[in-house]
Amino acid sequence: MPRTLTLLTASLFTAALLAAAPAHASEVLGKITAFKAGIVTLSVSDKGPEAKTECELFKRFETKLGGFKASGWLDIAKVVVEVAGSVMKVKIVEQKSKMKVNGKPVNHFKPGTEIKLTWK
């Protein structure tokens, strides 16, 4: 694929992701520390939302498209906060990303995954 076409494809892909991302009033960054039975445990950098708050959970991604790197946030789930604090527990209400690699579902909830939690 010619470099010009690759750059155009990467630009369009990034623009589509940004256009699809809803605006949120607040966010906190962190990492996934555990995942079991639809409950994700997060270690977060700042004060997050209160218990029972509906949020969007994003995971950080980096990929190469041809000779270019692309990075950003992938919306992986709608969640509800069950336990608030610097170590949070959130319950998955709706899994957003259903990507597959070689026919197998991608596990977006691996411990150590960088996340962003957003809420209104």
Give tens-digit pLDDT for 35-49: 999 999 999 999 999
Q: Which of 1, 111, 87, 94 is nearest to 56 (CA)?
A: 94
Flag whether pLDDT at 66 surpasses 60: yes
Q: Which two tokens stand for residue 59?
A: 């995971």
CATH 3.40.50 fits 3-119, yes or no: no
Q: Which of 39, 34, 21 is nearest to 81 (CA)?
A: 39
Burial of 61 (0-12, 13-18, 19+ CB in 10 A): middle
Are 11 and 45 in contact, with CB atoms under 8 Å apart? no
Flag whether pLDDT at 11 surpasses 50: no
Is the pTM value of this prediction over 0.75?
A: yes
